[in-house]
């Protein structure tokens, strides 16, 4: 499904007064547009796990590390790295959640 088809479908659903569910679309370098399903931070706060649904219906788990950088005013800012490790590619969401949870140390 293309991005424009998805947007059309979302507005159609909303206009029909069906339950509105916000879907965050994320552009992933090299992977295109995916739907963000869930994000979790590891118990130590050093890693971020994210689960996305791809256009082909598979669920993909990503792991991001924290990184620090300096802003123009010299203040240090902590954010999540744009680089990621794919830790799961599954047909079901519960399996992707289990893999990401294990990788994060839950």
Q: What is the pLDDT of residues 73-94, one digit of tens each?
A: 767 667 878 788 889 999 999 9
pTM: 0.65
**CA–CA distance, 104 with 79 (Å, rounded to integer):** 17
Q: Which residues, listed in sequence order, are joined to residue 47 by a DSSP beta bridge?
A: 65
- What 3-state class would DSSP assign to 100? helix
**CA–CA distance, 10 with 46 (Å, rounded to integer):** 34
Residue 76: predicted pLDDT: 67
**CA–CA distance, 99 with 25 (Å, rounded to integer):** 22
Per-residue confidence band for 97, with pLDDT thresholds at 50, 70 and 90: very high
**CA–CA distance, 60 with 51 (Å, rounded to integer):** 6
- What 3-state class would DSSP assign to 105? coil
Residue 31: predicted pLDDT: 59
């Amino acid at each position: 499904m293309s991005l424009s088809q998805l947007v059309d479908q979302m507005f159609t659903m909303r206009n029909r007064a069906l339950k509105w569910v916000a879907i965050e679309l994320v552009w992933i370098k090299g992977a295109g547009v995916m739907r963000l399903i869930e994000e979790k931070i590891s118990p130590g706060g050093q890693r971020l796990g994210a689960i996305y649904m791809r256009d082909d219906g598979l669920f993909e788990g990503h792991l991001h590390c924290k990184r620090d950088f300096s802003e123009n005013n010299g203040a240090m800012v902590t954010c999540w790295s744009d680089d990621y490790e794919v830790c799961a590619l599954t047909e079901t969401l519960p399996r992707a959640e289990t893999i990401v949870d294990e990788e994060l140390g839950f």
